[in-house]
Amino acid sequence: MAKVENQEVKGLTGDQAVAYALLNIDPDVVPAYPITPQTIIMEKFSEFWADGLVKTELVHVESEHSAMSAAVGASATGARVFTATASQGVALMYEILFIASGSRLPIVMAVANRALSAPINIHGELTDQLVTRDAGWVSFIGEDAQEAYDHTIIGFKIAEYPEVSLPFMYGLEGFIVTHALEPVYMLDKKTIYDFIGEFREPSNWVFAPGNPGAQGLLALPDYYMELKYQQEQGMKNARKVIPKVLDEFGEITGRYYHEVEPFHMEDAKYAFITAGASSGTAKAVVQRLRSKGEPVGMVKLRTIRPYPDEQLSELLKDLDGVMVVDRSVTFGSPASIQATDLASALLKHRKFPRVLSSAIVGLGGRDITEKDFEGLYEQLKKDVQEDVSRTHWWGVRI
């Protein structure tokens, strides 16, 4: 497809951007339950629906558990389904997330990343999405409102590839992305329709009149493993499909995305690994440090699942030190959530930086500032000097 010139640009928050993408995708069914900071996605989309701008069946459910259950039911009939949630909502959906992926249903879900209770907190943190990494969903994290808009469209395309047939979730950090106003370039209905295409059946069978059969069945020890292996094959296929889809999207929009996005990694001795909104801050700091002659780069991670292990190990091999800047938390683990994934990737490909440290930062929406990245850079150099990989609770008062 040719590049779309003169894309309409609008000032939108991340949440509104998702709603505007949905306006032109016009999904068949959207079951949703409100939760901060996702609320505006559904508020805005409900306005479009009330104005008759979409043909969607909007289902008001009584909980997120019901939202995902309704999404599973709708998707099993061959409908194109979207929902959105955050934090406790993701947690309440947890059981059904596995049913969506195990049933190979290409549901698309926005996660307005927010810290998990207790204590209750409504601000940005990636833990809610990262803890679903074993649920069998293709999982993206975006940096800004534009990426939230674009991931909404890209998500349907990836999820619905017959050889992938997996649900897709993508994160936009609470308030920092969901509520901050930014210019967003938008696509018209026809372009989006041509890009995503007609809905492709998730398998060769769906619930439909005159099409008897069954889904959501019991599989005992004699078949369960084979069906799980099929899911891993779906993930493997997603590895091949994702770069293809991102390329195709780039051709239309001029916005070329990648699973991992290196910045100033040429001749770098040190690197940050970031995901989500803090990547922009990291870029500014890396740029400034480079202008002072510091050998530092960074890699922004877009895809959490499937994990881009090969690309990362290639980028990070032979570096002196790597600092994973992780806006999430796990307890009693060898390192932060993203650092443990990265360590497995490096071990798998047997290509290592000398030191792999991680920093737990910005929990509960605490700002991650340029000063933090400067401090983390000094800390990384210190870790390398002392030849120790550490996990730092960065900026916490002790």
Partner 1 sequence: MSDKTPIDIKSWIREQWGASKLPPGGVVPAPATSLEYKTGEWREFKPILDDEKCTGCTQCYFICPDDAIKMDDRFHPIFDYDFCKGCTLCVEICPVDAIKIVKEVK
* Contacts with partner 1, residue ranges (CB under 8 A): 102-105, 165, 202-205, 211-217, 219, 223, 226-227, 229-230, 233-234
CB of 232 to partner 1, least distance (A): 9
Structure-block tokens of residue 294: 């510091």
- Are the beta carbons of 75 and 165 closer than 8 angstroms? no
Which of 39/69 has CB closer to partner 1? 69
Structural element, H or E, at residue 39: helix 39-50
* Residue 377 buriedness (CB in 10 A; 0-12 / 13-18 / 19+): buried
CB of 46 to partner 1, least distance (A): 31
* Residue 398 buriedness (CB in 10 A; 0-12 / 13-18 / 19+): exposed
- Are the beta carbons of 313 and 345 closer than 8 angstroms? yes
The per-residue DSSP string of 67-102 comes to: HHHHHHHHHHTT--BEEEE-HHHHHHHHHHHHHHHH
- Are the beta carbons of 360 and 127 closer than 8 angstroms? no
CB of 137 to partner 1, least distance (A): 14
Pairing of β 8-12 and β 182-186: antiparallel
Positive or negative, the CA dihedral 280, 115, 307, 21 is negative
The per-residue DSSP string of 272-286 comes to: EEE-TTHHHHHHHHH
Which of 223/256 has CB closer to partner 1? 223
Which of 124/234 has CB closer to partner 1? 234
Which of 229/256 has CB closer to partner 1? 229
Strand partners, 111: 85, 171
Which of 118/217 has CB closer to partner 1? 217
Which of 230/344 has CB closer to partner 1? 230
CB of 206 to partner 1, least distance (A): 9
Which of 104/157 has CB closer to partner 1? 104
CB of 81 to partner 1, least distance (A): 15
CA distances from 43 to 47, 268, 290 (A): 6, 45, 43
Which of 204/291 has CB closer to partner 1? 204
* Residue 134 buriedness (CB in 10 A; 0-12 / 13-18 / 19+): exposed
